Each structure stands twice: as C-alpha cells, then as structure tokens.
Amino acid sequence: MTKHTLTRMARDYLWIFLGSVLYSISFDWFYVPNQIGFGGLTALGMILNHLSPAIPIGAVVLVLNIPIFILGWKFLGGHTLVSSLFAMTATSVLVDLIAAMYTFPPMDPMLAAVFGGVMLGISLGMIFSKGATTGGTDLIARLLKLPFAWLPVGKLLLAVDLLMLLAVSIAFRSLNSALYGMISLYISTLVMDGVLYGLDQSKVAYIVTSQPQAITEEIDRQLDRGVTYLHGEGSFSGEQKLVLMCAFKQRQIVPLKALVNELDPAAFLIVCDAHEVLGQGFRRYQKNDI
C-alpha cells in the first residue's frame, strides 16, 4: 500500500468520523429530548429506551446491525463494510457518550425537526460520500442501490425509514412524533442528496456558431476544457453547421459566456445542468458508486 493510498484513506476516515460526530450531536440535541420520530434501527433503540431508560440506544443499534453487516459483506464488499463498521461504531458510541455527558433540553418541535433534518442530512452526506454508512437502514439503502441504481440514495432511505417512523409514533403514542419525524426525514433526504450529488456542480454547453474553430481554441486555452463537434443542420436554411458541446465546472460559466460573446456575438448558446460527469478533468467511475 503506497503512501498516497494511506494518506487518502486517513483523510476519508477522518471525514467519516467528523460526519459521525455531527450525526450523534444532531440526534441527541434535536430528536431524543423532543421525542421526534427517527428512522432506521435507531428508531428501535429509541423505542426500547423509552420503554426502559436503562437500555442505551447506541448499544441496541450495535447489536441489531450484526446480521445486516453480514449481508453487506456479501454484496458490497470489504471496503464498504469496514468503513461502515467504523461509522456505525463511532455514531453508536458517540450517541451514548454525548447523552451521558450532557442532556439537551427540549425545544420547539418544529425547530428541532427542521434543524435536526439539516444537520442529519449533512452528516449522512459526509458519511455516504466516502462509501460508508451508519449501518441499519442506511446500509439497507446502499444494498437497494444495487438493483435500483437510477434512484438517489436519499429517496431509497426515505422509503425504508417511513416504516420505522410509524413504529416510533405507536410506541410514543403520539401522531405528532411521526409527523415531525416525516418533516425532518424529508429535509434530511433533500440535504443529503444535495451533499452527495449537488456538490458536483457541472454544466454542459451547446454552442451553435459560425466561428467553431476559434471558440474551440479559446475554450481549450482559457478554460482547459475539451470540445466535441456535433454535426447539425438548420431546419429553415438547411445549412450544415458544427455544434460545439463542452462540459465544464460551474465556476467557469462566466468566462465561457464572455469568450463566446467576444468571438461570435451572434452565437446561439445553451447551458444545461449536468450531474455525474465522469472522465478526464471530472470524477472517475467507481464500482458500487452511489
């Protein structure tokens, strides 16, 4: 194992740990004191802790995760399992540790649901971005991602966790608990997908111009981006034209528009959002990518 690989692994596990800390704080701060429904195996831990406060939530999660991790080893491979085991252990221990050190007071349930969802979504996005999960339904969502690769992982997690929310509301005998939990779960899903997929802010431009060669050269020189020529034909004029297609980063949109306008003010420019851009200058494909 090279020094570069070890450095990258250390950086990834530090990121997972920071995500685990944020996850544990958000759970103890917003969910537990306000009895807001929480998805996943943590929901079962909340139910058992509610029935018997002597039962630690984190310990319950650790025990219930064992069969799920065995399944994860078979389908997701060793790397995902080890990193997920690290994240799951860190979150379980930190949840109980933080609860033992400090008891957060209750707050307005709506504030707790909103900000708890935001913090939880950020933390899960951080953990998932490095190929790990916190175990439980998070790991189930990663397993479901294999046959349903076109679905965002946040949406898969949302579907699995809704059943757990129903169980929490029954245990707490409070419909409000489930409703606030649904609000928080929906917000966390949006935030998590934003962290996972929204950080890849790429664009693709289609340029119809009478100066294809000059614009291509300037895009390569100023933006260090390649251009692909598409052969087009005007529907009215029947004129054959080259259509320039170029993928680029969000921050490069202003200089791209400026150089196109400078070289051909009459050019027709279309800029579209592009996600999951793979290739040179962008992300590389990874097996079991989320």
Bigger pLDDT: 147 or 94?
A: 94
Q: How far apart are CA 192 and CA 187, in angstroms?
A: 8
Among candidate residues 211, 225, 219, 24, the one with its CA nearest the CA of residue 123: 24
Torsion of CA 29, 109, 170, 48, to 10 degrees: 10
Helix (H, G, I), strand (E, B) or coil at 229: strand
Report CA torsion sign: 280, 281, 287, 290.
negative
Q: Is the pLDDT of residue 290 over 70?
A: no
pLDDT at 25: 96
pLDDT at 198: 65
Q: Is the pLDDT of residue 199 over 60?
A: no
Q: Is the pLDDT of residue 229 over 90?
A: yes
Residue % of the chain over a pLDDT of 90: 35
pLDDT at 111: 96
CB atoms within 10 A of CB 153: 23
Q: Phi first, then psi: what are they for 286, rounded to 5°?
A: -130, 140
Q: Is the pLDDT of residue 189 over 90?
A: no
Q: What is the mean pLDDT of the chain?
A: 83
Which tens digits make up the pLDDT trace of 45-91? 878 887 888 888 777 877 877 777 777 776 666 666 788 789 888 98
Which tens digits make up the pLDDT trace of 232-286? 888 787 888 889 999 888 788 889 999 999 999 999 999 998 766 666 665 665 5
- pTM given for the model: 0.67
Q: Is the pLDDT of residue 289 over 60?
A: no
Contact between residue 75 and residue 2 where contact means Cβ atoms under 8 Å apart: no
Compute the average pLDDT of residues 211-239: 89
Q: What is the CA radius of gyration of the chain?
A: 24
Compute the average pLDDT of residues 146-169: 74
pLDDT at 285: 54
Dump strand ranges (E) for the chain: 202-208, 228-233, 240-249, 268-274
Question: Which residue shows structure tokens 């400090």?
Answer: 102
pLDDT at 157: 72
Question: What structural domains does the chain harbor?
Answer: 3-198 (no CATH), 202-274 (3.30.70.120)
